[in-house]
């Protein structure tokens, strides 16, 4: 069995759709970071997306835990032409609405679909499980990344998964066993 402790990176304070844009995280709440680090298993391996906000958060909470190389496939969804735009400034508001209300194969212009994101993250998780069988893994990533795994654990639609709140610096714990994924905790804020 393997346990994944999905941690959403520290806040960015951005008011736009942030996917692959590499903006910094606010790591000023050191007390909260310390509580989060103390909550995570001591012997766990730590991995993060290669984006700075996830990488910096991972470094802030890793402590003495072994750090794996950054994993680019744990990035947030790529919003393409919508990247760093507010929902009210997108040129095709109908397409954006459909993207969120019917997540699946519809892609952002020049970006990814929910299905693309899910497949990408699924590949990374399978690789991590195979490379480190039975190990606890702390994966510092992004809301969409984490929600793909909540969707897999719950066996729900992408639309239902997107209804789950994932706060910054929250922990979502999922257990991989013989029957697949099992949800232990979602959006826990230590």
User: What integer pLDDT is reported at residue 77 of this predicted model?
Assistant: 98
Q: What span, in angstroms and rounded, lies between the C-alpha atoms of 36 and 33?
A: 5
**Segment 14-63, tens digit of pLDDT:** 999 999 999 999 999 999 999 999 999 999 999 999 999 999 999 999 99
Nearest to 77 by CA among 142, 25, 28, 4: 142
Q: What span, in angstroms and rounded, lies between the C-alpha atoms of 15 and 1?
A: 39
**Segment 81-128, tens digit of pLDDT:** 999 999 899 989 999 999 999 999 999 999 999 999 999 999 999 999
Q: How far apart are the two ends of the chain, measured CA to CA in Å?
A: 24
DSSP the chain: -EEEEEEEPPP----S--SS---------HHHHHHHHHHS-TT-EEEE-SSHHHHHHHHHHHTTS-BPPP-GGGSPP--GGGTT--TTT-S-HHHHHHHHHS-SSPPPTTS--HHHHHHHHHHHHHHHHHHSTT-EEEEEE-HHHHHHHHHHHHT--HHHHHTS---TT-EEEEEEETTEEEEEEEEE--
User: What integer pLDDT is reported at residue 1 of this predicted model?
Assistant: 86
**Segment 26-37, tens digit of pLDDT:** 999 999 999 999
User: What integer pLDDT is reported at residue 8 of this predicted model?
Assistant: 98
Structure pTM? 0.96
**What's the total number of domains in the chain?**
1
**Segment 132-151, tens digit of pLDDT:** 999 999 999 999 999 999 99
Instruction: Give the residue numbers spanning the domain of 6.
Output: 2-188
User: What integer pLDDT is reported at residue 163 of this predicted model?
Assistant: 96
79: alpha, beta or left? (left if phi > 0; alpha if psi -120 to 50): alpha
CATH number at residue 134: 3.40.50.1240
User: What integer pLDDT is reported at residue 24 of this predicted model?
Assistant: 97
């Amino acid at each position: 069995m393997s346990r994944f402790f999905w941690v959403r990176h520290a806040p960015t304070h951005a008011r736009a759709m942030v996917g692959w844009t590499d903006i910094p995280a606010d790591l000023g709440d050191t007390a909260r970071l310390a509580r989060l680090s103390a909550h995570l298993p001591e012997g766990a391996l730590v991995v993060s997306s290669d984006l700075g906000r996830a990488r910096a958060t991972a470094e802030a909470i890793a402590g003495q835990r072994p750090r794996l190389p950054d994993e680019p496939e744990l990035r947030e969804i790529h919003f393409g032409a919508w990247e760093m735009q507010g929902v009210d400034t997108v040129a095709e508001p109908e397409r954006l609405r459909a993207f969120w209300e019917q997540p699946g194969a519809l892609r952002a212009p020049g970006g990814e679909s929910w299905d693309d994101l899910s497949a990408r993250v699924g590949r990374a998780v399978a690789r991590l499980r195979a490379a480190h069988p039975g190990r606890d893994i702390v994966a510092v990533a992004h809301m969409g990344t984490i929600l793909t795994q909540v969707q897999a654990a719950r066996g729900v639609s992408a639309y239902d998964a997107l209804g789950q709140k994932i706060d910054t610096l929250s922990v979502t714990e999922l257990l991989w066993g013989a029957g697949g994924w099992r949800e232990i905790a979602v959006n826990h804020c230590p």
